[in-house]
């Protein structure tokens, strides 16, 4: 028996690490990975509560989150590749104009 609070705390810690990654790293790919980490932390809390309350709704919501994350990554990485093609650089500090 593991108290559900432990899962919630673990999820909060993982989310915080992801937020720290978004705030402190300058590589857009690592910022993207940190966003995935935050989505995963939220999923973990969803599944933990779904398991405690013995309902499938939480698991199905996680299923949708995974699908949305896959769509987000496909478009986001295509955008990063496109920015690299126009700017020859993907440092986040240099992405300061809308016009390539």
> In angstroms, rounded to a whole number, what is the distance separating the alpha carbons of residues 80 and 71?
14
CB of 53 to other proteins, least distance (A): 8
CA distances from 68 to 13, 40, 44, 50 (A): 23, 12, 16, 20
Measured from the CB atom, the residue of 71 and 98 that comes closer to other proteins is 71
Nearer to other proteins, 27 or 99 (CB): 27
Structure tokens of 4?
């559900």
> 């949708």: which residue's tokens?
64
Contact call for residue 71 and other proteins (CB under 8 A): yes
For other proteins, the binding residues in 26-55 under the rule CB under 8 A are 26-27, 29-30, 32-34, 36-37, 40, 43-44, 47-48, 50-52
Q: How far is CA 91 from CA 64, 77, 80, 88, in A?
A: 31, 14, 10, 10
Site for other proteins in 78-97 (CB under 8 A): 78-82, 84-85, 90-91, 93
Give me 17's structure tokens.
Answer: 């690490």
Residues lying near other proteins in the complex (CB under 8 A) are found at 1-10, 12-21, 23-27, 29-30, 32-34, 36-37, 40, 43-44, 47-48, 50-52, 56-57, 59-60, 62-64, 66-75, 77-82, 84-85, 90-91, 93
């Amino acid at each position: 028996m593991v108290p559900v609070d432990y899962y919630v705390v673990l999820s909060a810690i993982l989310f915080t690490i992801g937020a720290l990654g978004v705030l402190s790293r300058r590589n857009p790919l690592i910022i993207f990975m940190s966003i995935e980490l935050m989505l995963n932390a939220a999923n973990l809390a969803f599944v933990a509560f779904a398991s405690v309350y013995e309902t499938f709704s939480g698991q199905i919501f996680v299923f949708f989150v995974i699908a949305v994350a896959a769509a987000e990554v496909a478009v986001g990485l295509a955008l990063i590749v496109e920015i690299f093609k126009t700017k020859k650089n993907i440092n986040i500090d240099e992405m300061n104009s809308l016009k390539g």
